[in-house]
Chain A
Amino acid sequence: MSCGNSCNSNTSSRRGFLTSMAASAAGATAGLTLAPGITLFSPAQAKARGKGEAASSKVRWGMLVDANKCDDGCTACVDACADENGWQGEGNPATDAQWIRKVKVTDPGTGKSQSLPMMCQHCEEPPCVDVCPTGASMKRADGIVLVDKHSCIGCRYCMMACPYQARSFVHEPVSGQRTRAPRGKGTVESCTFCVHRVDEGQQPACVEACGGTKRGALTFGDLNDPESEISKKIATYPTQAIRSDLGLKPGVRYMGLDT
């Protein structure tokens, strides 16, 4: 399988080696080590972005959540995200950041419940980007919605505008920061689709962790690529966007919802 430069960068670096080992251990769709020196890469990895190369609108990153495979009580995706991005709580539930959370949805008629992760939906028409006065809330060409920590003034208008309550405000001094995901008191933050990993051709931490539980409820990939696993699933199964009535065209889609 041809994988261009990303093969070299992943196999030659310690980080890439560890990543592919972790992914193969998890049985996820990320890199799979078949034999020493021979690694099978997923389409997502083949799209690692070169240093200094701008994000391309040819790619539209997206995620598919299969609610049927998501268990109530499992928080692997939440735990992995918190660890990856360093937003472990300070013990104040009302003000602690939650980049991703498990939501329990119950039908009042039947009493049937479903559990699913909720995070930034990386909308194509993101209201948070529209309302941000300074442009700190922004959408990359590849559809990933981010907050520029240098120009966020902490007005929280984006939090008022987000239909998914996906954003958190950093209410107190932070500890345990990761260099890959800088945080700052007084600014707003949310799921980045693990942009630092995606740019290196890896899967977001939540997707990898979910795969590690053997549930595989999360699929990440390029929605613009008809050959990607996520595109094929969306083409095959009925899926839906949360609050699709708002016309925001989220990059995160759900399947198996009992609606």
Chain B
Amino acid sequence: MSREIHKRIEGRSPAFLVLIAVLGILVLLGMGSAWTMEHHGHVITGMSNRIVWGMPHVFAVFLIVAASGALNVASISSVFGRTAYKPLSRLSVVLAIALLVGGLSVLVLDLGRPDRLIVAMTTYNFRSIFAWNIYLYVGFIAIAGVYLWLMMERSLNKFSKAAGMVAFIWRLALTTGTGSIFGFLVARQAYDAAVMAPLFIAMSFAFGLAIFILVIMFTSGGTGRELGEAMVRRLKNLLGVFVGAVLYFTIVQHLTNIYAAEHHAVERFILLDGGIYTTLFWVGQIIIGGALPLVLLFTPLFADSREAIALAALSVIAGGMAQLYVIIIGGQAFPLVLFPGKIVSSSFADGSIASYSPSLPEIGLGIGGVALALVIVAMAVKILALLPRTLADTETDPT
């Protein structure tokens, strides 16, 4: 007789209730921020007619990109047949849905007219990658939901592999769509590059897995479930590979630009003299988001220490936020080139670097989205049997 692999958490401990309360307060904070922004208008934010997308978009894109990456653990099991990951598949799917819902909430609440969401859901311009993304995002949630159901309903388990394949292909399309939001912007010096799509896919693998590792460590520790060395080592090695992939595509992105003389100015801005953006690129994205995790994950000095792996995952998340800040806000701060080779100035700040400092409502809205994603996960593991009873090596890696 087979015994259940997954079990709900009790969710009655004071620690769990405190967690839900804290996350709930942060969600309320986010909603309050959104209300303030809508009431007064975006004039109270740091955004302007030059920096039209700000901190909410950094959070939203991070969460959306991480969502598709969080699904990878399930994909590795279903699509690539690595059964050791199978016990984690349910949590992987739920985390993916939760992160996407959190990210989309931020994106929608930042709209100038969020009350017109129904217009966005019913009126489409199919030349717009944004319109495609609405389908890709909603479709992702639907497909992931069906995938989860097929995994949890024993009589339908046999279909879960096919659903996993569909979900995997869909998530690649989704991240391609998110990267292409920037890749399709022909007029902006910092964007307009096909490499944005694979770069965003690599970013999604890294960010999503980093969040997944922290969630599985936190839930295992918090509920007294065993988390075996073999499983941790697998996840750790995978994270290292993904961090390497992000670095690789980042190098390709900038080397391609540096080769073309017309992009020298924007590359100089990001890599050398862009102030906060240059600092965030080298210190945030490259050192904290790339080099530090690789050192923590692969040098014998740390010898697979759990703390080092958790710190590496946190570094990947911090570096990822820095990377998106540089891409989204740095890319807008650099002026549009109206007259190549000329010095341009105007009352609309033509030709100059745009200034931007994130406001509290923007950050509050972003944090609210993160908290919403986490509270969905916390409630889901209480309501549904998502977490494996144990991830001891004897269970996941019997060989």
Residues of chain A with a CB closer than 8 A to B349's CB: 94
Q: Is A173 located at the chain interface by the 8 A CB criterion?
A: yes
Q: How many angstroms between the C-alpha atoms of A28 and B194 in the bound complex? A: 48
Looking at the complex, which of B77-85, B123-131, B139-147, B161-169 is the stretch in contact with chain A?
Answer: B123-131
Asked if residues A94 and B111 are in contact (CB atoms below 8 Å), the reply is no
Q: Is B40 located at the chain interface by the 8 A CB criterion?
A: yes
Q: How many angstroms between the C-alpha atoms of A96 and B50 in the bound complex? A: 11
Asked if residues B111 and A105 are in contact (CB atoms below 8 Å), the reply is no
Q: Which of A133, A163, A168, A186 contacts B128 (CB 8 A)?
A: A133
Q: Is A232 located at the chain interface by the 8 A CB criterion?
A: no
Residues of chain A with a CB closer than 8 A to B41's CB: 170-173, 185-186
Looking at the complex, which of B217-225, B243-251, B338-346, B365-373 is the stretch in contact with chain A?
Answer: B338-346
Interface mask (A74-102 → B, CB under 8 Å = 1, otherwise 0) = 00000000000000001011111110011
Q: How many angstroms between the C-alpha atoms of A135 and B123 in the bound complex? A: 7
Q: Which of A95, A103, A135, A168 contacts B125 (CB 8 A)?
A: A135
Asked if residues A242 and B125 are in contact (CB atoms below 8 Å), the reply is no
Please judge, given known A-B contacts A92-B43, A95-B48, A153-B120, whether A102 and B131 are in contact too, CB under 8 Å: no
Q: How many angstroms between the C-alpha atoms of A160 and B345 in the bound complex? A: 19
Size range of the chain A interface in the assembly: 35 or more
State how many residues of chain B have any CB contact under 8 Å with chain A. 50
Decide if the interface of chain A is mainly helix, strand, loop or mixed.
Answer: loop
Asked if residues A259 and B42 are in contact (CB atoms below 8 Å), the reply is no
Residues of chain A with a CB closer than 8 A to B338's CB: 103, 105, 118, 163-165, 242-243
Interface mask (B47-76 → A, CB under 8 Å = 1, otherwise 0) = 111101100000000000000000000000
Q: Is B358 located at the chain interface by the 8 A CB criterion?
A: no
Q: Is B16 located at the chain interface by the 8 A CB criterion?
A: no
Please judge, given known A-B contacts A133-B124, A133-B128, A135-B123, whether A160 and B342 are in contact too, CB under 8 Å: no
Looking at the complex, which of B24-32, B180-188, B263-271, B303-311 is the stretch in contact with chain A?
Answer: B180-188
Q: Is A175 located at the chain interface by the 8 A CB criterion?
A: no
Asked if residues B112 and A188 are in contact (CB atoms below 8 Å), the reply is yes
Asked if residues B42 and A155 are in contact (CB atoms below 8 Å), the reply is no
Q: Is B332 located at the chain interface by the 8 A CB criterion?
A: yes
Residues of chain A with a CB closer than 8 A to B119's CB: 134, 151, 153
Q: Is A131 located at the chain interface by the 8 A CB criterion?
A: yes
Asked if residues B347 and A163 are in contact (CB atoms below 8 Å), the reply is no
Please judge, given known A-B contacts A130-B128, A155-B130, whether A94 and B49 are in contact too, CB under 8 Å: yes
Shortest beta-carbon distance, B333 to chain A, in Å? 12
Task: Tell me the A212-228 residues at the B interface (CB within 8 Å).
Answer: none
Q: Is A106 located at the chain interface by the 8 A CB criterion?
A: yes
Q: Which of B112, B130, B343, B344 contacts A133 (CB 8 A)?
A: B130
Q: Which of A93, A107, A186 contacts B342 (CB 8 A)?
A: A107
Please judge, given known A-B contacts A133-B125, A133-B128, whether A101 and B187 are in contact too, CB under 8 Å: no
Most chain B CB within a 10 A radius of its CB, from A98, A129, A168, A186: A186
Q: How many angstroms between the C-alpha atoms of A194 and B119 in the bound complex? A: 27
Q: Is A154 located at the chain interface by the 8 A CB criterion?
A: yes
Q: How many angstroms between the C-alpha atoms of A132 and B134 in the bound complex? A: 12
Q: Is A69 located at the chain interface by the 8 A CB criterion?
A: no
Most chain B CB within a 10 A radius of its CB, from A97, A160, A164, A246: A160
Asked if residues A152 and B43 are in contact (CB atoms below 8 Å), the reply is no
Residues of chain A with a CB closer than 8 A to B47's CB: 95, 171
Whose C-beta in chain A lies nearest to the C-beta of B121? Answer: A134
Q: Pick 12 A–B contacts, CB within 8 A, sort by A.
A: A95-B48, A96-B49, A101-B348, A103-B344, A107-B342, A132-B128, A133-B130, A151-B119, A155-B120, A155-B130, A156-B53, A161-B187
By a beta-carbon cutoff of 8 Å, the part of chain A in contact with chain B is 90, 92-98, 101-108, 118, 127, 129-135, 151-157, 159-165, 167-173, 184-188, 242-243, 246, 259
By a beta-carbon cutoff of 8 Å, the part of chain B in contact with chain A is 38, 40-43, 47-50, 52-53, 111-114, 116-117, 119-120, 123-125, 127-131, 134, 181, 184-188, 332, 336-339, 341-350, 355
Query: Which 8 interchain pairs have the tightest Cβ spacing?
Result: A154-B112, A186-B112, A163-B187, A133-B130, A94-B48, A172-B41, A172-B43, A171-B43
